[in-house]
Amino acid sequence: MSADPILGAMRAAGAGMGAQQTRLRLSAENLSNADTPGYQRKLVPFRVEDGLVAPGRTRLDTREGERVYDPAHPLADAEGTVTLSNVDMFVELADAREAQRSFDANLQVFGQARRLYDGLLSILRRP
Amino acid sequence: MIEAVGAARAYGGLGEVLRSAAPAAEPDKLSEGARAFAAVLDRADQAAAGFATGAVDAQGVVEAMAQAEAALQTVITVRDRIVAAYQEVLRMPL
């Protein structure tokens, strides 16, 4: 059964859906921590594993966050500036939307593979 | 979905019967197919149970159930064709 192309298509679509779910989760984590001082946004590169997509190691974006002058902040340093997170809300929202689109595309392919298989079986099923 | 899982377990029992009926020394194609079919249904069973406890995510459950449904439909269709052919032969005038 592992050499069946239809099942291979379903498995590839399933791997794609899982990878996009990971991407969406990281976008949500970044967005929720957009105001946390010192937070570095998480990125995940995708890689190919035996033809299927797999999320690689999550790494941090090492860019410096925005420095804001706020002496009253409890985390202000000697000059009174606080380093906020390096999360850009619009970038994260666009990433989340792209993840959703890719997930929908993979879901469609999964459904089409299933319909292909059902069509094949329906040839045998004539009354 | 719960009824489908129950039906899947029943067909898994058929796999068990086939496994025990065939002698272990000679694995022929029929028992191999029955064992693979039972394995697919076992995976769907475990996925459904894992989802109830929260160990398996929704996508894993849907994938396992889709594969179990596809295997079940295949076996049912093939069995129906075999039985229909048998009945056609029985209906032949002597």
Residue type, A39: Y
For the segment A102-110, the average pLDDT, to the nearest whole number, is 96
Is A121–B59 a contact, with Cβ atoms under 8 angstroms apart?
Answer: no
Q: Which pLDDT belongs to residue B55?
A: 87
Percent of chain A predicted with pLDDT > 90: 64
Q: Which pLDDT belongs to residue A19?
A: 95
**3-state SS record for B47-79:** HHHHHHHCCCCHHHHHHHHHHHHHHHHHHHHHH
| Mean pLDDT taken over chain A | 91
Residue with the larger pLDDT of the pair A2 and B36: B36
Residue B54: what are its φ and ψ, rounded to 5°?
A: 90, 5
pLDDT-derived band at A21, boundaries 50, 70, 90 = very high
Q: Which pLDDT belongs to residue A127?
A: 64
Give contacts of A117 with chain B, Cβ < 8 Å. Answer: 70
Look at the alpha carbons of A123, A125, B3, B7 in this order and tell me if their dihedral is positive or negative.
negative
Instruction: Tell me the nearest-neighbour CA distance from A69 into chain B, angstroms.
Output: 44
Residue A61: what are its φ and ψ, rounded to 5°?
A: -80, 115
Percent of chain A predicted with pLDDT > 70: 96
Q: Is A8 on the interface with B (CB under 8 A)?
A: no
For the segment A55-74, the average pLDDT, to the nearest whole number, is 90
Q: Which pLDDT belongs to residue B24?
A: 55
ipTM value for the complex: 0.70
Determine the straight-line distance between the first and last CA of chain A, rounded to whole angstroms. Answer: 27
Residues of chain B with pLDDT under 70: 1-27
Retrieve residue A88's tokens: 């850009």
Which phi-psi region, left, alpha or beta, contains residue A73 (left: φ > 0; alpha: ψ -120 to 50)? beta
Q: Give the whole-angstrom CA distance, residue A124 versus residue B75.
A: 11
Q: Which pLDDT belongs to residue A1?
A: 43
Q: Give the whole-angstrom CA distance, residue B73 versus residue A26.
A: 38
Retrieve residue A35's tokens: 């105001």
Do the beta carbons of residue A86 and residue A65 sit within 8 Å? yes
The answer on pLDDT for A28 being more than 80 is yes
Is B73–A10 a contact, with Cβ atoms under 8 angstroms apart?
Answer: no
Give contacts of B67 with chain A, Cβ < 8 Å. Answer: 7, 10
Mutate which of B41, B56, B73 to disrupt the A interface (most A C-beta within 10 Å)? Answer: B73
Query: At how many degrees (to 10) do helices A89-124 and B58-90 cross?
Result: 10
Q: Which pLDDT belongs to residue A92?
A: 95
Q: Give the whole-angstrom CA distance, residue B14 versus residue A92.
A: 51
The answer on pLDDT for A34 being more than 80 is yes
Give contacts of A14 with chain B, Cβ < 8 Å. Answer: 59, 63
For the segment A31-43, the average pLDDT, to the nearest whole number, is 92
